[in-house]
Structure 1
Amino acid sequence: MDWTAGYVSDIEYTSGFYREQSPAWLNFVCLLNGVEPVALDQPFTYFELGFGRGLTAQLLAGANPMGQFYAADFNPAHVAGARALAREAQLPNLTLLENSFAELAEGQVTLPQFDYITLHGIYSWVTAENRRHIVNFIGRYLKPGGVVYISYNAMPGWAPALPLQRLLVEYADAFPNRSDVQLKGATEFIGQLEAAQAAYMAGNPSLKIRLDSLRTANPHYLVHEYLHKHWQPLFHADVARDLAAAKMSFAGSADLPFAFPTLYLSEERRQLVDKLPHPEMRETLKDYLLNTAFRKDVFVRGAQRIGTQRQSDLLGQVGLTLTVPRADVSLKLKLPMGEADARPDIYNVVLDALAQRPHTLAELARLPGQGVSSVIQIAALMSASSQTAFYFPANARAAGDAAARLNATLSAQTRYSDEHQALCSPLLGCGVSANYVERLFFAAMRQQPADLTPGQLARVAWDIMAPSGRRLQREGVTLEAAEDNLALLTQNAQTFLTITLPLWQSLRVA
């Protein structure tokens, strides 16, 4: 019996953390867009639909001890792996379920009402029937004032690639095998079409990025991105109308820069948008103007609009901290709509203050030449470019025991794999990216807690990684000799001890 409903299940999805799903990020989006957020200083409830490998749910549960987290996936391999990690990390506030969207929507599981419901990517991967189940679940279980995060492949940005996805699926179906093998064969066939100068490829130069990614990206990701039978990029207007059945209204984009239209829309384009009478039409027109291919939408049930004074007061309480060394901060900001050059005379005052210590936005607004509106925009853009991060007062006071256990578990896994590439920050209420070598050093420090020199730390790290056969690379070349690996580990350990570790300590990761 096929229980997959056309959804790829023989290959597990990649492990990833998506910060936009965190309660803190969603609250910040609400505040940027003048909507009353969920209170984080008292117990709250959270549900993730389709959790994949479960890393996002684990990190959020570890970082937010005030929350009760639930997450469901219908793939038993995903559920088994996530439960094993949660057991080892002893996360008492996380419940992982193996259920379909239909089972959840029908109330087959006893659940509370939720303040947050999130789903990453899957809404455009599943059948129309399953999309209805998702909306019914939201309508049944989301509290008034509750927040939904829903990201999805979007039109019109995906339009040129629709024939590409169809061809990949048709070719894969013609040659039954494991999904990654099917994808490999289909990708090779696409390459032959390119070599034959197929007019479809030649006439769509924008396809180059997607064609290149077919050859370089993680096959587990690509299988889930392209081979679902019911894969369908969606227009925002259709998603908004779907969710209207659950009494949801659009609050804003989890891509923070989109809260500032003057950044990405000319006066002429803003006038075109403003002519349209309905918000779903206006938002969809923006996608035509920007050729949007992926959306990160935030909806609220019974959104309470707040005035500018309360908005300023609540945002003023938000903290901001650097997540990279001050010397490494770039004012050429990489944002969803492209690169933007930040003004040094405005940004450097704030960045210099943050180099001394974290500040609230209210404190930053009192710096020379600053004001409330300017520091809010700086916080949003610098955080979007992953050079700062914001946090809420409740997280600054949160206990860190669960986060410490989870980080110990995640770092210990470097003995076996490079699967989960993030650690938990109770200050930020979410995760932070951590590469293999950084997590390896973290594991080594837990194994030998005494102060270690870079050379000593490198030796302990090598003893952890060597039995697995894993080796480092320098400039794309694998280092086979132990002494070469130790030399590179020692070099990296110096950077870790002097730069990475102090940053992690400020974020309460370490």
Structure 2
Amino acid sequence: MAASHPNGQFYAADFNPVHVAGASALAKQAQLTNLTLLENSFEELANGQAKAALPQFDFITLHGIYSWVTAANRRHIVNFINRYLKPGGVVYLSYNAMPGWAPALPLQRLLVEYADAFPSRSDLQIKGATEFVAQLEAVKAGYLTANPGLKVRLDSLNTASPHYLVHEYLHKHWQPLFHADMARDLAEAKMTFAGQADLAYAYPLVFLNEEQRQLIERLPHPEMRETLKDYLLNTSFRKDVFVRGAQRIGARRQSELLAQVGLALTVPRAAASAKMKLTLGEVNGREELYNVVFDTLAQRPHTLAELQQLPALAGQNLHALVQVAALLTASSQAAFYFPAAQGADHAAAARLNATLAAQTRYGDEHQALCAPLLSTGIAANFLQRLFLAAIQQQAGLTPQGLARVAWQIMAPSGRRLQRDGVTLQSEQDNQALLESHAREFLATGLPLWRTLQLL
């Protein structure tokens, strides 16, 4: 975010000095001067004891924090928001939610208890706990057989990253929350719920039938209505947005603002589909409408006003196109952007991307790059970042050139590619597979990156 917005000021806090030191090293290498990194507890931050003077903030974000910390720390977070957020400011909080997590509460407790019984490194604890759960499955433990819906979570114990599993499960104060409780917590900091960051939820016609919508409307309070949606959908994770001093705007002003928003594809045209996989499930859009949007965006990004003016979309009102854009964003096929002024400075983004690409020499930790058009980051896998590093070393834009330099970068670390689950050992086999991936990257990945202004 700091690299995407060189005119903004960003502050980030973490209690773990290792995380702060790592982020500081990246920021120094990328020469980011608008980022302040703090090693502070929530209590210190809330009490004004940060290791740097803090301003009043326009935005405060917490991802994967609120339902993993103690009740006391949740209180400190609310106090911090109350103290430092501007009137009109926005807060984003993601959290494990009820009732979707209800069947898995005993599973999480079992993993924590097993880990406590065998003190060790956290990655070894989760490995041992996972193996123990597998033994319970083998003997057909009643809790597991009576809850077939646990299968997805049980499978993830064997497939997800150990670091993720430790964060997700091995916290004694881990507590999924009801939206109503979250809304009441934030109300103490004068916050009003604005909506979910997952934009598909803005369109209840997509995921609720008429009877369900009528049932929701019978409830008198907004926090009750939003919580009932979670019962209807069995929600297990929420991404809530709150505003301090929310101001409603009229339909005309809303349309004026929405018309200025841009939309860009974040996948190659061949991969774009009107059959969308959302958090809520699969949704099938009207192909004749979505294909026009896909074909148009494949040429270049467009504002919603420009899309509305297309002859092929004559008769489509702006809000219908806003819904298309929201669902494409929710399905990770497109992203919104706000058109920048002429001569926008992308130097900081370029420096950060160079720094992140260079990290492929050592590992696969930082799996994103900065996309200046979108003013945010996008996911980038190891090979994509490896090819960027090769480009920066003047590899030449040919499959052979990219493969040759990519191999020179990755080989000293002992990293090898896999084909059909088999690790390739020889230089010849690795370079041949790298060349195949490079050919695909040059055909589809690189043009997309140019559109998003990564290069």
- Range of TM-score over shorter length: over 0.9
Q: Quick one: distance in 1 between partners of 2:454 and 2:397? A: 19
Aligned: 1:100 with 2:41: yes
Aligned: 1:472 with 2:417: yes
How do 1:268-307 and structure 2 match up within 5 A? 268-307=211-250
- What one-letter code is carried by the residue in structure 2 that aligns with 1:468? S
Matched position secondary structure for 1:276: coil
Correspondent of 1:331 among 274, 280, 290: 274
- What one-letter code is carried by the residue in structure 2 that aligns with 1:340? V
Deviation sequence 1:62-120 (CA, Å, 0-9, x none)? 11112110000001111111111111111111111000000000001220000000000
How do 1:52-451 and structure 2 match up within 5 A? 60-109=1-50, 110-367=53-310, 368-369=313-314, 370-394=316-340, 398-448=344-394, 451=396
The TM-score normalised by the length of structure 2 is 0.97
Q: Quick one: distance in 2 between partners of 1:348 and 1:175? A: 55
Q: Quick one: distance in 1 between partners of 2:358 and 2:156? A: 31
- What one-letter code is carried by the residue in structure 2 that aligns with 1:500? G
Matched position secondary structure for 2:86: strand
Matched position secondary structure for 2:256: helix
| Contact 2:103–2:147 (Cα < 8 Å) also in 1 | yes
Report which stretch shifted further, 474-483 or 390-399: 390-399
Q: Quick one: distance in 2 between partners of 1:396 and 1:504? A: 20
Q: Quick one: distance in 1 between partners of 2:117 and 2:398? A: 57
CA RMSD of aligned residues (A): 1.1
- What one-letter code is carried by the residue in structure 2 that aligns with 1:384? A
Q: Quick one: distance in 1 between partners of 2:446 and 2:252? A: 38
Gaps of 5+ in 1: 1-59
| Contact 1:273–1:285 (Cα < 8 Å) also in 2 | yes
| Contact 1:120–1:150 (Cα < 8 Å) also in 2 | yes
Correspondent of 1:482 among 427, 430, 433: 427
Q: Quick one: distance in 1 between partners of 2:136 and 2:298? A: 53
Deviation sequence 1:183-212 (CA, Å, 0-9, x none)? 111111111111111100000001111111
Q: Quick one: distance in 2 between partners of 1:396 and 1:248? A: 36
Q: Quick one: distance in 2 between partners of 1:492 and 1:352? A: 25
Matched position secondary structure for 1:145: strand
Quote how far apart the aligned CAs of 1:452 are.
Answer: 3.3
Q: Quick one: distance in 1 between partners of 2:365 and 2:341? A: 27
Quote how far apart the aligned CAs of 1:395 are.
Answer: 7.3
| Contact 1:395–1:427 (Cα < 8 Å) also in 2 | no
The TM-score normalised by the length of structure 1 is 0.87
Matched position secondary structure for 1:394: coil
Q: Quick one: distance in 2 between partners of 1:327 and 1:147? A: 36
In structure 2, the CA distance between the partners of 1:478 and 1:395, relative to structure 1 (3 Å rule), is farther
Correspondent of 1:496 among 417, 441, 444: 441
Alignment-derived partner of residue 16 in structure 1? none
Report which stretch shifted further, 326-335 or 401-410: 326-335
**Aligned residue pairs, count:** 450
Quote how far apart the aligned CAs of 1:315 are.
Answer: 0.8
In structure 2, the CA distance between the partners of 1:396 and 1:69, relative to structure 1 (3 Å rule), is farther
Correspondent of 2:404 among 459, 471, 481: 459
- What one-letter code is carried by the residue in structure 1 that aligns with 2:352? L
Q: Quick one: distance in 1 between partners of 2:274 and 2:420? A: 27
Q: Quick one: distance in 2 between partners of 1:197 and 1:223? A: 25
Quote how far apart the aligned CAs of 1:396 are.
Answer: 7.5
Deviation sequence 1:4-59 (CA, Å, 0-9, x none)? xxxxxxxxxxxxxxxxxxxxxxxxxxxxxxxxxxxxxxxxxxxxxxxxxxxxxxxx
Quote how far apart the aligned CAs of 1:121 are.
Answer: 1.3
Deviation sequence 1:306-332 (CA, Å, 0-9, x none)? 111111111100111112222221111
| Contact 1:118–1:148 (Cα < 8 Å) also in 2 | yes
Q: Quick one: distance in 2 between partners of 1:218 and 1:385? A: 23
Quote how far apart the aligned CAs of 1:228 are.
Answer: 0.6
Matched position secondary structure for 2:54: coil
Q: Quick one: distance in 2 between partners of 1:371 and 1:396? A: 29
Q: Quick one: distance in 2 between partners of 1:186 and 1:396? A: 55
| Contact 2:397–2:442 (Cα < 8 Å) also in 1 | no
Deviation sequence 1:152-183 (CA, Å, 0-9, x none)? 00000000000000111111111111111111
Gaps of 5+ in 2: none
Report which stretch shifted further, 364-373 or 100-109: 364-373
Report which stretch shifted further, 246-255 or 385-394: 385-394
Quote how far apart the aligned CAs of 1:397 are.
Answer: 5.6
| Contact 2:178–2:227 (Cα < 8 Å) also in 1 | yes
- What one-letter code is carried by the residue in structure 1 that aligns with 2:309? R
Q: Quick one: distance in 2 between partners of 1:504 and 1:283? A: 38
**Percent of pairs with identical residues:** 72
Q: Quick one: distance in 2 between partners of 1:397 and 1:236? A: 43
| Contact 1:407–1:424 (Cα < 8 Å) also in 2 | yes
| Contact 2:57–2:85 (Cα < 8 Å) also in 1 | yes
